[in-house]
Amino acid sequence: MPRSRRPLLRVVAPLVGAALFLTGCASGGGGSTDGTTAAAEDATLRVNFSGFPESWAPGSEIEGGLMRVPYETLLAPGEDGHPVGFLATDYELTEDALTLNLREGVTFHDGEPFNAEAVKVNIENVRDGATAWSGSFSTVESVDVVDDYTVKLNLSQISPSLPTVLTTRALPIASPKAIEDGTIAQTPVGTSPWAYDDALSIVGTKLYFGSFADYWGEMPGFANVEIYGINESESAAAALLNGEIDISDVEESVLTKFDGTDITTFDYPAIRNNLIFFDRGEGGVFESQELRQAVCTAINVDEAAQVIGKLTPSTQHFTEGEIGYNPDITGYPFDLDAAKSLYADAGSPSVSFEIAAAPYNEQQISIFMDQASQIGDFSATVTTMPPPQFSSVWSSGQYPAGLAANDELTPYDWYMSWFAADASGNPSGVESDALKAAADKAIAAGDSEEADALWGEVTKIISEEALTCAHAQSNETIAYNSTTVSGVAAPAEPWEAQSVNYRDLVPTS
């Protein structure tokens, strides 16, 4: 198609949303003469989010509640849903490029300067490595350093969702020096108000992030953040009640322990998960579309929701009102007789495979696999592993199928991450002609009025081919000690698990 220079989107955002710049209240006194507060000088927030990342390198599967302590992103979600400036002050998106003007005076925790070259290193590292988010940057053909504070991402095709991607976990901005020498995997080095301190951390128990004196913005209400890795909900609840931590994600099963205490809880919609069939290549376990459809039809998400709680069945990945939602998608309503018939159509194959799980989704996966086993000679062994290990391998191709969060916010990113032939989440490399043609048409439509309906057709084909199914949405439950911390609320970033808006938090007076 002809490529014009018509801007798809022009955003001038000299300031991030106000929530990102809140100055913390003092825990027993007013602000000092240099603009900091007493809280910002010595207060420490103690947070537990069930485990530690296997790697801190950009592109790794790092939950938001962990990633957003040392790292910042180029853009942030605006109140109207459109990205606004953060480490980039503004941007311009055309059909063939995304140009970002960068904030000056920003320094990484290791003293390296934040500039266009640093952004180039980060983008190329995530795009070209074996990372969880490489698919989100596959359309970035090259990165030009225009000058010290201007970077241009040259695009191979229209990428209307790319600014949104830059607000997410897909691209935390890390020190280029730490990326290049490989230390970033174990030692996060970002630009946030909190810098990792190895001397005050305890391996396997606590990560300590101290106040970064050269931070470019206003200091938050807590000078320091300690992250704990308590992955057992009963133990996390006990730590909250004993005053050992201030905030934690918890399971529904422990909520009664907080009755009559100072522990406050709230839920927010954080997770969209679904079963994905990876081994779809020639001779693969799930090469047969009829077999995939049989498994999908045998899974009863409603039944699982009754057992697990806080799980909402869905027909598809996107919710009504989001681009990609298609009201014509009915999903795979539970029907065991129909599932057995589809299994017979597939040739009644003997199926035996292993599927990975983490403690937080083991029950859901086990229920789904037990249900699927009713179709015939079908057996799945559920192997449970620590969350960091699970995050790094569940979709690697080591396992024929997997279930975990799909937190992509746009159908373009969902398709490019999991279903395109070269998607990082499609280890088989298989894509039907029908899906590719529909996706190509939707991509070419850019941000035009017809693009919404075209992406709805893409998600419909993904459903009909049973590349994924058993969609469910679940809430994250956050508990916090109201006598030690105030301002706790759901994160500004949509569909992000294990997270809070750290910069809104202040010690309780």
What pLDDT, on the 0 to 100 scale, is given for residue 112?
Answer: 98
Angle, vertex CA 37, rays to CA 34 and CA 38, nearest 5: 120
Supply the CATH classification number for the domain 270-474: 3.10.105.10
Q: How far apart are CA 63 and CA 358, in angstroms?
A: 14
- The CATH 3.40.190.10 portion of the chain extends over 7-262+482-507
Superfamily of domain 7-262+482-507: Periplasmic binding protein-like II (3.40.190.10)
What pLDDT, on the 0 to 100 scale, is given for residue 4?
Answer: 32
Q: What is the pLDDT of residues 7-49, one digit of tens each?
A: 445 444 444 443 343 323 323 333 333 334 444 568 999 999 9
Q: What is the pTM of this model?
A: 0.80
For the chain, give the percent of residues with pLDDT over 90: 75
Q: Which two tokens stand for residue 263?
A: 């522990």
What value does the mean pLDDT of the chain take? Answer: 90
Report H helices in 24-101: 38-42, 64-67
Of 452, 501, 440, the C-alpha closest to 21 is 501
- The CATH 3.10.105.10 portion of the chain extends over 270-474
User: Please, which residues bridge with residue 485 across strands?
Assistant: 507
Whose tokens are 């979600």? That residue is 77
Q: How far apart are CA 260 and CA 257, in angstroms?
A: 9
Q: What is the pLDDT of residues 428-467, one digit of tens each?
A: 999 999 999 999 999 998 888 899 999 999 999 999 999 9
C-alpha distances in angstroms, 322 versus 78, 317, 325?
A: 16, 10, 6
What is the full DSSP assignment across 483-509? TTEE-----SSTT--S---GGG-EE--
Q: If pLDDT is split at 50, 70 and 90, which confidence band does 355 have? A: very high
Q: What is the pLDDT of residues 115-161, one digit of tens each?
A: 999 999 999 999 998 788 888 898 999 999 999 999 999 999 888 88
What pLDDT, on the 0 to 100 scale, is given for residue 452?
Answer: 93
375-406 residues labelled b (16+ CB within 10 A) or e (exposed): bbebebebeebebbebbbbbbebebbbbbbbb
C-alpha distances in angstroms, 86 versus 73, 101, 106, 196, 298?
A: 7, 10, 11, 21, 46
State the virtual CA torsion across 193, 166, 393, 501 in degrees, nearest 10.
Answer: 40
> pLDDT at residue 411 above 80?
yes
Mean pLDDT, residues 79-90: 91
Q: If pLDDT is split at 50, 70 and 90, which confidence band does 175 have? A: very high
Name the 3-class secondary structure at 415.
Answer: helix
Q: How far apart are CA 480 and CA 97, in angstroms?
A: 43
